[in-house]
Amino acid sequence: MARIEFSDGNSVVIIGSGAGGGTLAHELTRRGIKVVLLEAGKRQSRRTFSQIPGEAFLQLTWLDTRTQSGNWGVARDFPTLPVWHCKTVGGTTVHWTASAPRLQPWELRAKTTYGQLGDTSLIDWPISYRELEKYYEAAESRLGVTRRNGIPGLPASNNFKVMYAGAKKLGYKQVHTGHMAINPQPNDGRDSCIQQGFCVQGCKTGAKWSTLYTDIPRAEETGNLDLRVECTATRIEHGADGRINAVIYRDGEGKEQRQKARLVCVAGNAVETARLLLLSDSARFPQGLANSSGQVGRNYCHQITGFVWGIFDKPVYSWRGATLAGVVEDEAINNPRRGFVGGYRIELVTLDLPTLPLVGLPYGWGRDFASIMENYRNMAGLFINGEDMPRSDNRITLNSEVKDAFGLPVANVHVDEHANDQAMRKHAQGQMSRMYEAIGARRVVTGPTPPATHNLCTARMSADPRDGVSNAWGQAHDVKNLFISDGSALSTPGAANPTLTIVALTLRQAEYISQQMAAGNI
């Protein structure tokens, strides 16, 4: 691994090592570009992952304080954990469930498709699906996505078989074990899935793609990567010309460091990316770095989620098999006759026994609650993944009344759900309930909206600089050598789990950055 001097102003600094940052680090270093990769968390491995749910949660999760507000159910049910993402090398690719569908062409034209939907901040993407498609293909090859490029689907678990039976009873046609970044057979130096069901605790076999054991080690092998763990970026600085020249961060001992940079790519997850830009205010950017539009932190999306559990007379053993390896795609359409615009996927889900009462059930304690828990073996689970509507006031702001370990304002996550979001959730949970009822479920239980795991759109790409923070390449409209390299850059969320799209955009961005650096433009 390289050691890049603090005074080296020719390096690229990437903040965050997940799907965006880890992929970008590999792409740039393999092209001969020196990269400093800052990661706030520790480095784990397939050997050190814990499969005890509580231990794994503490080992991997970003637990720094956040506050929240708004009318969304998360504010009521999970007041201290509005979002759930990782603080570890590899970022959220360590605990993700590896569902990797594509956005659909019309989802990149949300404003055009849905029209003037009141109280939203919809825009069309500044790139076309045709342009994105070739990078989807490259991303699917890199991740080893099932049902693409001749890779077979994952096997059907008991949980999936229950889902499949219910879906067919309702007449659904597009039902399968999903486009998953999990190996059904050895591939790309990674083992095959053994169906043990610990997807969110970190994959000990490496069957699930993660930058932790793919892109980052490969970047290190180039001799061009300086990975710095337990290093938290606190500010991005610029010179008199408005160009970025350094990143300020705290190292593992809490000591402040300053790394000079030729350009900076921010990939800290949509909450922390927005927070860092807002913390980096200056006389030139009094509202926050690259925020002349006032759009930094706005338009926060998290996709529509929610559980439905079916309790049956016989055991399902839902925890056996990949957590999310099952999908019904028939509802991923735009059909306003359902009472809302946009679509959703019905996805397979299970929660481990300790997590289920904390995250997946709407009840407190009591006899009824206990009866559900006693039937854990006989439970099957379904989950919504739908498109929520961007709203200008759904946003990440700084809460100056609550400070982090370094004395800086924490992020506040504000969400007021749009009526379209609520109508979609109601329809989806109704359909999922009917799926289980159609095959003889003894009881159906509707669960709450969990902490957000798909955090998106807070520094979105836009054709018009007034509508967003970055251009079609994720390059800040205001600052030529600042890039957004995570889910913050998505213009709208769509109904597809976002990691594949993040990787595709990053591959495209890496080409652009390399070309612009070679030309001397940045």
Q: Are residues 466 and 497 in the same domain?
A: yes
Percent of the chain with pLDDT over 70: 100
Task: List all residues 6 or more positions away from 150 whose beta carbon is below 8 Å from its beta carbon.
Answer: none
State mean pLDDT over 459-480. Answer: 98
Q: Are residues 498 and 512 in the same domain?
A: yes
The larger pLDDT score, comparing residue 232 to residue 366, is at 232
pLDDT at 451: 94
Q: What is the per-residue pLDDT across 337-360, written as a single tens digit (0 to 9) for each?
A: 999 999 999 999 999 999 999 999
Rounded distance, CA 21 to CA 41, Å?
14
Q: Are residues 173 and 53 in the same domain?
A: no
| Phi then psi dihedrals of residue 125, to 5 deg | -65, 150
Q: Are residues 446 and 475 in the same domain?
A: no
Rounded distance, CA 476 to CA 299, Å?
16
495, two tokens: 């109904």
375, two tokens: 């039937």
CATH code assigned at 474:
3.50.50.60
Domain housing 195? 151-201+305-386+418-451
Q: Are residues 324 and 368 in the same domain?
A: yes
pLDDT at 364: 78
pLDDT at 317: 97
Q: Are residues 77 and 141 in the same domain?
A: yes
State mean pLDDT over 498-506. Answer: 98
Indicate the pLDDT class of residue 363, thresholds 50, 70 and 90: confident
Residue 23: helix, strand or coil by DSSP? helix
Indicate the pLDDT class of residue 253, thresholds 50, 70 and 90: very high
Q: Are residues 357 and 464 in the same domain?
A: no
pLDDT at 316: 98
Nearest to 500 by CA among 181, 75, 67, 34: 181
Q: Are residues 105 and 170 in the same domain?
A: no
Q: Identify the sign of the CA torsion 22, 24, 26, 28.
A: negative
Q: Identify the sign of the CA torsion 415, 416, 420, 424.
A: positive
pLDDT(17) > 90: yes
| Phi then psi dihedrals of residue 131, to 5 deg | -70, -40
What sections of 126-262 are H helices per DSSP?
A: 129-143, 158-169, 215-221
Scan for tokens 């792409």, then name that residue: 27
Residue 513: helix, strand or coil by DSSP? helix
Q: Are residues 411 and 436 in the same domain?
A: no
Q: Identify the sign of the CA torsion 235, 241, 244, 249.
A: negative
Q: What is the per-residue pLDDT across 86-139, written as a single tens digit (0 to 9) for each?
A: 999 999 999 999 999 999 999 999 999 999 999 999 999 999 999 999 999 999
Rounded distance, CA 107 to CA 333, Å?
9
Three-state secondary structure readout of 62-131: CCCCCEEECCCHHHHHCCCCCECCECECCHHHCCCCCECCCCCHHHHHHHHHHCCCCCCCCCCCCCCHHH
Indicate the pLDDT class of residue 1, thresholds 50, 70 and 90: confident
Indicate the pLDDT class of residue 512, thresholds 50, 70 and 90: very high
State mean pLDDT over 323-337. Answer: 97
Rounded distance, CA 82 to CA 84, Å?
7
> Nearest 5 degrees, angle CA 182-CA 226-CA 274?
70
pLDDT at 362: 80
Looking at residue 470, the DSSP 8-state letter turns out to be B
Nearest to 456 by CA among 484, 425, 489: 489
Domain total for the chain? Answer: 2
Q: What is the per-residue pLDDT across 261-300, written as a single tens digit (0 to 9) for each?
A: 999 999 999 999 999 999 999 999 999 999 999 999 999 9
Q: How far is CA 311 from CA 268, 381, 433, 456, in A?
A: 39, 9, 11, 34
Contact between 427 and 346 (Cβ < 8 Å): no
> Nearest 5 degrees, angle CA 296-CA 297-CA 299?
105
Q: Are residues 346 and 364 in the same domain?
A: yes
Q: Are residues 77 and 1 in the same domain?
A: yes
Q: How far is CA 338 from CA 108, 308, 447, in A?
A: 21, 19, 22
User: Judging by beta carbons within 10 Å of its beta carbon (0-12, 13-18, 19+), is residue 373 exposed, middle or buried?
Assistant: middle
Q: Are residues 343 and 478 in the same domain?
A: no
Side by side, the strands of the sheet bearing 256-260 are: 232-238, 244-250, 256-260
448, two tokens: 């709450």
Indicate the pLDDT class of residue 365, thresholds 50, 70 and 90: confident
State mean pLDDT over 62-80. Answer: 94
Residue 29: helix, strand or coil by DSSP? helix
Q: Is the pTM of this model over 0.95?
A: yes
Side by side, the strands of the sheet bearing 225-228 are: 225-228, 35-38, 12-15, 263-266, 482-484
- For the chain, give the mean pLDDT: 97
Indicate the pLDDT class of residue 2, thresholds 50, 70 and 90: confident
Looking at residue 155, the DSSP 8-state letter turns out to be P
Where among 407, 426, 451 does a domain terminate? 451
